[in-house]
Structure 1
Amino acid sequence: MHRLQNSRIDRAVSLPAVGTLLNEPAYAELVGEYGRSRVVEAIREQIASERSGEADGSQRHAAVASKLRAAVAPNLRWVINATGVILHTNLGRAPLSRAAMDALAVAAGYSNLELDLVKGRRGERAALVGGLLTSLFTCEAALVVNNNAAAVLLTLTALCRGKEVIVSRGQLVEIGGSFRMPDVMRLSGARMVEVGTTNRTRAADYEEAVTSRTAALLRVHTSNFRVTGFTETASLDQLREVARRHDLLLLDDLGSGAMEQVGDEPTVAESLQHSDVVTFSGDKLLGGPQAGIVLGRGEKGADAVKKMARHPLARAVRIDKLTLAALEATLKQRLTGHADQIPVERMLHTPVADVRRRAAMWSVKLAERGVETRLIEGSSAVGGGSLPEHDLPTVLLAVAGPASRLATALRQGSPPVIARIEKDECCLDPRTVLKGEDETLIDAVETAAAALRK
């Protein structure tokens, strides 16, 4: 014990002062790069580790430099999505197209965000995408806010505050993060009137609940789950008839915003045939940035959207210039027939034969580097709370080795590769790996496999 205490004392005595280290050229160079206070903090942490015996001083400068690099490295990092989940919420949902990324670079500087260049006076930022949305979806009015939750909240607050909104009990959803429809309704100041049951709600249930205080009927699309079996749901067409008879608004929270028919998933176009106001996300099936898109159909819908745009809450949830730029580029790609350049659209429609060829190419290249793999059948998911019952056939590349350790090594690499474990194998799904990432992914797999062999 006495000998241990003496060694600690000797070690403490031999440790240099922070000021002494700062005067050395190597550390002075770090000060010039990272700033004095940050370098001082890193040196103190390193010396504390040496004092406790957790580290020695032989690699002191390298350790301090490493701490500093880690401290200033971006928290938001590029990752390769090899999970097969297209709209992966944890990975930022829809990856943007090249056109959208180019638009972000333009908007990052000064731009005519709220300036009419022809008339030389103040313009409206909403006009940058409003016309594109009404053209793309053939509707009378459009508004964009920062996400779909904000779009729903603004809709209920501006149009239904102090009044009743009728909704099916089977549609009182939670979209994640404890964000629940009843809570949104309560926050908006509207009074929620529940009708029907979890599994069966008829149009008659809505009609029987209408009073003189009713402002709207609300349909919430259950895009992130399905109730099957003994079920019944009132169609939008039926709800439209009820709304017309009582001069009520029909609101549709569409959620994912399907652009085309996939299974029984309602599309934006179908919703607009019956609803006055439709809301959905910009970063899901549309394939753009995070945004809440509000569309108004007919005179009643257009008036509703205009009322929403004038509401004070609209200012609090308005879209920023970078999102506007990316959204504009995405909408123009769809309007001009170039939707196939949008990554989400491309992933959704990539034939399984193309996925197989890509996986086979990876397998051949990895075999040349001594990494054993095999191809297995599997499925990709749309993700993002979209199309929960619609899986896409795919071909996975299974990498030989301990699955959990391989997945961890890939995730902690540079860049991180996010794989998935399928039947105790570490698997990579080519469907969600972006164009141009193949060689980087192959290098990452080789590095991870080699690290596990050491």
Structure 2
Amino acid sequence: MSDVRRAVPRTDTVLAAPELAQAQRRLGRALVKRVVADAQRRVRAGELAPERVVDATLAALPDTAAGSLTPVLNATGVLLHTNLGRAPLSEAAVAALGVAAGSCDVELDLGTGARGRRGRGALDALAAAVPAAGAVHVVNNGAAALALVATALAGAGAASGTPREIVIARGELVEIGDGFRIPDLLAATGARLREVGTTNRVHARDYEDAIGPDTGFVLKVHPSNFQITGFTSSVSVAELAGLGGPPLVVDIGSGLLAPDPLLPDEPDAATVLADGATLVTASGDKLLGGPQAGLLLGSPGAGADLVQRLRRHPLARALRVDKLTLAALEATLAGPPTPTARALHADPAVLAERAETLAARLRAEGVDAVAVGSEATVGGGGAPGVSLPSAAVALPERYAAALRQPERQPERQAGRTSVLGRLEGGRCLLDLRALPEEADERLFTAVRTVATGGADG
């Protein structure tokens, strides 16, 4: 009986194949070598013919990057899916990343040759997007923005030298994804929390009674991922601003910069500043549709002074964003509508037509597919309770896992796409609200390939 190991092609012979030589220049020798080793293992196991090692290696290599991330079509109906990286970047933002990836004038004045203001383009674009702001600053995420404020105004790094109080409604001590709690973040800065009101009701007098010499600032947090209904009351930004006294900081969370008629209950930076907030904090990778970033926008006067104070705080250096984030953020703010904006404002009739077309094409290929109405959500901790009419392609439940893990199918083809749908009523729904129309062909090909057992013809 012949030794199967004799049939396994040598590693150096496989790596010398012209196709793999090119892949090594693009992806690096180490990555290609690991994939070759896996193909050789499959030969030893009798799963792969020896002459197919080069083809199998090419099929298993990533198309464009040496990293481990896998492109995913978001067919969940959740526009800002946290597990999928929240907001997908616009083409303009992706192009800006390419420019920033090399040497660029992120902190250089090309006119004088001297050091320039870091990220001036992104900061100018943010200021232009919210004219009501007197000054703006950007850190690496929304939690960082709040941590910087708490540290500088009430925590161990406060100007007074001793921790001060943050006055906040008890019903706004929220927990968001992965067990992250706002009160834990605030307490970690060394600040003291002064809770006011009850879980469901808080009044202006509760704030008035709590504000005193030890108050660092008043904080209002938008409960962006849940709703309390029934016997409730809260205090508006305008009412809190009317109390006077310490700075009023409002964490709007979702990154909406201006009002959107589709989201009437979602606070936006422009309105909150107009209502009297001293400082607004928000995220960049939610409804703004940009990269992960923490936005700080101060009102003219006191708010602008506060932003400058935060910018000079020692902690700001540890929280600053890199050139890639600045480039993507500027392009998001100054460029065309983002994928998030397009998805949010998609026409339900167009979505239904796309679903009907896809379902019909799939049925012609022998796939049990039907177009159905669907309900999408914003997600990402934004607009809780808001339902967006959508359309989906309904498939048998078994498609969910197969579409999500194409690499587990036999003879995986290069360029295959992972698709994440949702299970509902015993069916796999591929919701189109978060998918641009140009992704329909990739979605069709992915489903057809699963249906034909991996023959991606």
Structure 1 length as normaliser, TM-score?
Answer: 0.86
| Alignment gaps of 5+ in structure 2 | 156-162, 407-415
CA distance in 2, matches of 1:170, 1:450: 53
Instruction: Give how far 1:74 is off.
Output: 3.3
CA–CA distance in structure 1, aligned partners of residues 31 and 95 of structure 2:
37
**SS of the residue 2:433 aligns to:** helix
1:295 partner SS: strand
> Which residue does 1:249 correspond to in 2?
247
Deviations 1:323-379 (A, max 9, x none): 11111011113xxxx4xx311111111121111111112122223322232222221
Q: Cα offset for 1:209?
A: 1.2
- Of 336, 339, 342, 1:346 maps to 342
Shift of 1:148: 0.4
Distance 1:398 1:107 in 2: 41
C-alpha deviation, 1:257, in angstroms:
2.4
| 1:65-84 correspondence runs (5 A) | 66=56, 74-84=67-77
Structure 1 CA distance for aligned equivalents of residues 80 and 112 of structure 2: 41
1:153 alignment partner, one of 134, 147, 152: 147
**Alignment pair present for 1:188 and 2:189:** yes
Within 5 A, what are the aligned runs for 1:125-144?
125-138=118-131, 139-144=133-138
Paired with 2:173 and 2:436, the residues of 1 have a C-alpha distance of: 36
Partners of 1:23 and 1:98 lie apart in 2 by 39
Q: Tell me the C-alpha RMSD between the 2 structures.
A: 2.9
Match of 1:197 in 2: 198
Which residue in the other structure is 1:293 paired with? Answer: 295
Q: How far apart are 1:451 and its partner, in Å?
A: 2.5
Deviation at residue 121 of structure 1 after TM alignment: 0.8
Distance 1:195 1:75, change over 3 A: same
Q: Does 1:240 align with 2:234?
A: no
Check conservation: 1:159, 1:307, Cα contact below 8 A. no
The one-letter amino acid paired with 2:147 is: L
TM-fit CA distance, 1:23: 7.8
Bigger shift: residues 119-128 or 288-297: 119-128
Rounded to whole Å, the distance in 2 between the matches of 1:389 and 1:265 is 11
- 2:29 & 2:120 partners in 1: Cα distance? 44
Q: Secondary structure at the match of 2:248?
A: strand
Choose the corresponding residue for 1:355, options 351, 357, 360: 351
CA contact (8 A) 1:27 1:61 kept: no
Q: Secondary structure at the match of 2:308?
A: helix
Pairwise CA distance, 1:201: 1.1
What is the match of residue 412 of structure 2? none
Matched AA of 1:155: V
CA distance in 2, matches of 1:105, 1:195: 48
Distance (whole Å) between structure 2 residues aligned to residue 68 and residue 428 of structure 1: 29
* 2:284 aligned residue (277, 282, 285): 282
TM superposition shift of 1:221: 0.6
CA distance in 2 between counterparts of 1:375 and 1:92 reads 27
Instruction: Measure how far apart 1:381 and its partner are.
Output: 0.7
- CA deviations over 1:196-255 (Å, ceiling 9, x no partner): 11111111111111221111100011001111111111111111122x1xx200001110
Count of matched residue positions in the alignment of Structure 1 and Structure 2: 425
- Which residue number corresponds to residue 416 of structure 1? 418
Query: CA separation in 2, counterparts of 1:48 and 1:410?
Result: 23
- 1:63 is displaced (CA, Å) by 6.4
Residues 1:113 and 1:236: Cα distance change in structure 2 (over 3 Å):
same
Q: Is the 2:174–2:181 contact (alpha carbons within 8 Å) kept by the matching residues of 1?
A: yes
Which segments of 5 or more consecutive residues in structure 1 lack a partner in the other structure? 1-9
- Asked if the contact 2:154/2:216 (under 8 Å) is kept, the reply is yes
Corresponding residue for 2:432? Answer: 430
Give the letter for the 1:365 counterpart: R
Distance 1:380 1:65 in 2: 40
Q: In the TM superposition, what is the alpha-carbon distance from 1:433 to its structure 2 partner?
A: 1.2
The answer to whether the aligner puts 1:102 opposite 2:95 as a matched pair is yes
Displacement after TM superposition at 1:426 (Å) = 1.3
Q: Distance in 1 between matches of 2:54 and 2:454?
A: 27
SS of residue in 1 equivalent to 2:216: strand
Change in 2 beyond 3 A, CA 1:126/1:24: closer
Aligned with 2:310 (options 308, 311, 334): 308
What's 2:259 paired with?
A: 260
Structure 2 counterpart of 1:209, which letter?
Answer: A
- The answer (yes or no) to whether the contact 1:39–1:68 under 8 Å persists in 2 is no
Match of 1:122 among 94, 108, 115: 115
Question: Quick one: distance in 2 between partners of 1:234 and 1:440?
Answer: 48
Q: 1:312 to 1:79 in 2, by over 3 A?
A: same
1:80 CA drift (Å): 1.1
Deviation of 1:441 after TM superposition, in Å, equals 0.9
- Give the residue type in structure 2 aligned to 1:366: L
Q: Secondary structure at the match of 1:436?
A: helix
Whether the aligned pair in 1 keeps the contact of 2:151 and 2:189 (CA below 8 Å) is yes
* Structure 2 contact 169–198 (Cα < 8 Å) conserved: yes
- Partners of 1:432 and 1:370 lie apart in 2 by 26
Q: Is the 8 A contact 2:139 2:316 kept in 1?
A: yes
Within 2, Cα distance between the matches of 1:95 and 1:313?
Answer: 29
Q: Any idea what the Cα deviations from partners look like across 1:120-151, whole Å, max 9, x if unmatched?
A: 21001142222222222121000001110101
CA distance in 2, matches of 1:43, 1:177: 36
Find the aligned partners of 1:275 and 1:23 in 2 and give their Cα distance. 64
3-state SS, counterpart of residue 437 of structure 2: coil
* Aligned equivalent of 2:369, options 367, 373, 380: 373
Given that 1:126 and 1:143 are in contact with CA atoms closer than 8 Å, whether structure 2 keeps it comes out as no
Contact 2:255/2:282 (8 A) holds in 1:
yes
2:104 maps to 1:111:
yes
TM-score, with structure 2 as normaliser: 0.85
Mapped to 2, the partners of 1:163 and 1:69 lie a distance apart of 59
Q: Is the 8 A contact 2:141 2:283 kept in 1?
A: yes
Aligned to 2:158: none
SS in 2 for 1:177: helix
Q: CA deviation at 1:68?
A: 9.2
Q: Give me the identity figure in percent.
A: 43
